[in-house]
Copies of this chain bind each other. A is one copy, B any other.
Amino acid sequence: MTAAPDPTTETASRADERAGALLTIDLDAIAENYARLGARLASGAQCAGVVKADGYGCGAIPVAKRLFAAGCRVFFVARADEGFALKPHLPDAEVCVLDGLLPGLVDDYAAAGIVPVLNDPGQVEAWTAYCAANEVAPPVVVHVDTGMNRLGLAMADAEALAEDGDALRAFSDVLVMSHLVVSEEPEHPLNARQLADFQHLRARFPKAKASLANSSGIFLGPDYHFDLVRPGHALYGGNPTPGQPNPMRHAVQLLARVIAVREVDKAGTVGYGATARIGAGGRIATIAVGYADGYLRSLSNRGEAWIGPHRVPLIGRVSMDLVTLDVSSVPPEDCQVGDFAELIGAHSGVDDVAERAGTNGYEILTSLGHRYHRAYLGEAA
């Protein structure tokens, strides 16, 4: 976050003394990211909030409530469960379930006011039948696949739908959406090909609204914005423009408590598998975070942390509950039992951690652990 709390004072004093690690989610930063993305949009385009996977690990309910307060009115989740959990907190927003309309759930969705994202002709048919039988036409999303081969109607099925008068009556409030495959790579030819296919499709549904862009898709330019964009990662501070400076604000800070400091009296190895060596006179700080907290094991011997102004490398393997840091270069008074080391924050954002772990920032976020003590800044009422 822009103004990170001093790990040794403010944050620590707020924490329960038992906490092994403190995860702080800055909802004001998320709201500011929402505003920053909105300011980039083509005239008339709206900005949704993607809060699937428990709000990218940050807490779907507090995040969505804060985004609603910031003006967001359309939300996307993945699982039906996530939709049913979120909707009561956002009665005046559209909560759309990307997994689609699972068999047997039509009445449940309709009763709860959940918006299904229809992913195949069977789901279209089930929804059409429901609407005809009940003489209603609630909001609905039709997902068309333009290159992901994962979910969504094939183009031919979408074309057929555009000719189907019965279905279109049920779909008077419809959003047609598709999903970009390589939006993080602006030069990739697949972007333009998907855009052309989607423009063709949109012309077939003249009364529908349309949505194509995810976080990175917003930065491909106004042609990609249509009526609604659907950012996720960028809201949480992830960089939607890899290789360029990050235009978003950090929203996540992870501090882990130093629970031991060891003076190494004779040279030896550190951690499981004896994968790292340390010389006599070195110092090791052990912190209360491990891969069971979602601090990925692939960060073994590659992660880093910050203790006050000092950058310290991770040494040895990440173990289930613990990580060891080489603090030989840190003055002893700056690294004592009870102090906190910053693993994610202003010094090292989620994408930086991801790069060290050999993955993407999304996985770092969605892995954020359930043993962390969590605090929210800027919660909405």
Contact = CB atoms under 8 A, between A and B. Distances in A.
Interface of A: 17-20, 52-54, 57, 78-82, 84, 98-100, 102-105, 108, 119-120, 122, 145, 147-151, 154, 156, 181-182, 188, 190, 257, 259-260, 262-265, 268-274, 278, 284, 286, 288, 290-292, 294, 296-298, 316, 319-322, 324, 337-338, 358-360, 362-363, 366-367, 370-371
B149 A262 contact: yes
A274 B184 CA distance: 12
B149 A270 contact: yes
A259 B292 contact: no
B268 A119 contact: no
Contact of A182 (B257, B272, B298): B272
A18 B102 contact: yes
Contacts of A284: 149-150
B151 A322 contact: yes
Given A57-B292, A81-B371, A145-B262, 19 more contacts: A17-B104, A18-B79, A19-B81, A53-B290, A54-B370, A78-B288, A78-B292, A98-B321, A148-B270, A149-B262, A149-B316, A150-B284, A150-B322, A150-B324, A181-B272, A190-B269, A291-B363, A294-B367, A370-B370
Given A100-B260, A151-B259, A260-B119, A271 B181 contact: yes
A291 B278 CA distance: 34
B181 A17 contact: no
Copy number in the complex reads 2
A145 B266 CA distance: 13
Contacts of A52: 292, 320-321
Contacts of A145: 262
16 contacts: A78-B290, A78-B320, A100-B259, A102-B257, A103-B338, A119-B259, A147-B274, A148-B270, A149-B269, A149-B271, A150-B262, A150-B271, A151-B286, A298-B298, A320-B362, A320-B363
Contact of A181 (B18, B265, B273, B321): B273
A182 B275 CA distance: 10
B291 A17 contact: no
Contacts of A78: 20, 288, 290, 292, 320-322
Given A17-B105, A100-B260, A321-B79, A297 B150 contact: no
